[in-house]
Structure formats: structure tokens, C-alpha cells
Amino acid sequence: MKAIVTVMPKPGVLDPQGKAIGRALAHLGFTDVGEVRAGKVIEVELASSDPDAARRTAEAMAEKLLANTVIERFSVEIA
């Protein structure tokens, strides 16, 4: 079973990478772009066959290592 963990900066937290991407897109002529936020996606293959157990495991991983919960939020999808 695969867990897909998406980690993004919390609203209000400075995101210099997102700002740089936004400026580069504008420079390339993409003028309709508003705010850009940059995050990360982590795919973890889990041995569990129980989706609820896999979700709990992935959420624990995110809370302990994959996300800095002070400045980032995360979501978990089980595939």
C-alpha cells in the first residue's frame, strides 16, 4: 500500500522558494499567476494492507519526521 504525504508551508509562513518561482513565471510571461507556494510530496510504500492503519502510520511519520508541524501542514492520501 502506498502513502502519499503532501507537505506545504502553513498560511502566513514566508515561502522564499514559492516567491522565486512566482517571479520566474512572471518573467517567462505567465502574467495571470497569483501567489505561488512550494512544498514537497513524499511517497512511502507500506507493508500494511489495512488503509486505516496505513494512514495512521503515515500521519505519525509526517508528524515525527516528514513535516515541521510548527511551520508546515501535511495531508496523507492512501493509494
Would you list the domain boundaries of the chain?
2-78
Per-residue pLDDT at 1: 96
- Round to whole Å and give the CA distance between 44 and 33: 31
Per-residue pLDDT at 17: 97
pTM for the structure as a whole: 0.90
Per-residue pLDDT at 41: 98
CB atoms within 10 A of CB 15: 20
Per-residue pLDDT at 69: 97
2-78: CATH superfamily: Phosphoribosylformylglycinamidine synthase subunit PurS (3.30.1280.10)
Q: What is the pLDDT along the chain (79 residues), one digit of tens a residue?
A: 999 999 999 999 999 999 999 999 999 999 999 999 999 999 999 999 999 999 999 999 999 999 999 999 999 999 9
